[in-house]
Structure 1
């Protein structure tokens, strides 16, 4: 099967909505050029398109393909270049397949990043396991991904916290004290950090997939440099709806943080602080995308801390 004509490639509605909400200034032009870009990359890499994944990524078109020379399956990922996606190739190169999906090829255009990746079992995320088993597998994998870096060595990746977003107290006036606390906490934690690691940046059960060469491998990093508690905080927020919906939610939240901190030898107070920050960040992102129930869930989680 040859590469599809640009007009034949369908961009998932989810990608159109999510990228328009997150990056309205760039979205229309990038989405219009996307079919032609994907077709060109299939030709450049000598690939045949199998199917576009729907929904795929929130900032990326993700497609199953195979090499024409040996029929090896692969994944083609084409992303809008943003602060979240810009450094994915560097992280995947540093990991070299150790705990993460293997990078086969990387190419940049002025507005896009193109990655060719090994194909994992996209239909089997770590979220498919029961929570206790999923958390055990996740902590083991996360420990492998953290690469220590010298405290003073320069690095092109962003550091934590990337930039504190404005606090839209008008949108959720009742949460204004919580939002202010999160902003102040992020500033204090960043100033007092005593370690520097390469972090995944968006590590949760949905970004870990079953694989052939390892039981589980991480995908879709939004890499940055910082302390381990920042990365672990995103995992602490996984399945927040289940935890908040359980009896005695604040106690359940504290138990989860204690178990995660103990499992990975991370300071529990710093984990609590970064979890507050990241819960508020997720809430603000959900508000920006008009997903108010999701925003309220993360604010409730933050309040439980």
Structure 2
């Protein structure tokens, strides 16, 4: 009998609509087939938002991860991204089933979250190191979404609010839209990016000291990747006594370690933070705490002098 938490099931119904109950009904059969095909025993799942992800052990005792992606979700692009990254800076893809949209992944042990270090400068440095390992040049046709594709969220936002700004401060939204448009038009050579490289997606491992999990698979300039590092673990920034200086240090450090322009990192951070808050509304119908934090990050960055 598999553990399917009530909160997870309710969230899937909200996110997937009519497909939610149907997918949840199929989920035990999918998990049973995973156990049979890959000779493993699945343990209770992690508390995650969008997919069913659970630790498991193979017959020989090897710890692994089973991930069942939601319908019409990120399976295809994540599977292709993991194959291209090939374990460099990221957990390895061990096997997958396209029909069930299920992956068997390397389990990172001990799996300590980067965010647990409580040293912002060290965390930023580790994240920069992981970024450099993951990025892959990409050219020609591909199946990955692009930064420009993700930026279409601004169009949907304006449509949702009949051309207005809804719960977003008008000047901040306008600036974010302008920055996203300008940055997209002047991007450097495209690369395959992780797409969501925040503090909880980097874990301590044995194969390498730190590895990433859950790559979205996104094509764009590497500077785009830094935005998630700016808008996460914000409590540390806002309780530092000098939030502006703390955020500026993050920008400065990323620019120095990655060889990028400070202004470009800041501007991507503003645009992404506003877009991230909008995605929260798209998923759940309203701004939640994390979305409000993202907007606070955007305001902080917008007030930063470069």
TM-score range, shorter chain: 0.7 to 0.9
Equivalent pair of 1:244/1:301 in contact (CA under 8 Å): no
Tell me the distance in 1 between the aligned counterparts of 2:114 and 2:217.
Answer: 20
Change (3 A) 1:24 1:188: farther
Gaps of 5+ in 2: 302-306
1:194-209 mapped onto 2 (5 Å cutoff):
194-209=188-203
Match of 1:54 in 2: 46
- 2:304 corresponding residue in structure 1: none
User: Cα–Cα, structure 1 residues 293 and 119, in superposed 2: closer, same or farther, change >3 Å?
Assistant: closer
* Aligned residue runs from structure 1 range 17-96, under 5 A: 17-49=10-42, 51-55=43-47, 57-68=48-59, 70-96=60-86
Q: Tell me the secondary structure at the aligned position of residue 97 of structure 1.
A: coil
The answer for the alignment partner of 2:108 in structure 1 is 120
Residues 264/82 of structure 1: CA separation in 2 closer, same or farther (3 Å cut): farther
Q: Which residue is 1:156 aligned to?
A: 143
| 1:1-305 → structure 2 map (5 Å cutoff) | 8-49=1-42, 51-55=43-47, 57-68=48-59, 70-109=60-99, 112-121=100-109, 123-130=111-118, 131-150=120-139, 153-163=140-150, 164-165=152-153, 166-167=156-157, 168=161, 169=164, 171-172=166-167, 175-288=169-282, 289=284, 290-305=286-301
Greater helix proportion: 2
The answer (yes or no) to whether the contact 2:51–2:67 under 8 Å persists in 1 is yes
CA gap 1:82/1:251 in 2 versus in 1, 3 angstroms: farther
Structure with more of its chain in strand, by fraction: 1
CA drift at 1:122: 6.3
Calculate the aligned-residue CA RMSD, in Å. 2.1
- TM-score w.r.t. structure 1 length? 0.87
Measured in 2, the distance between the counterparts of 1:94 and 1:135 equals 24
What CA distance in whole angstroms lies between the structure 2 residues aligned with 1:83 and 1:158? 12
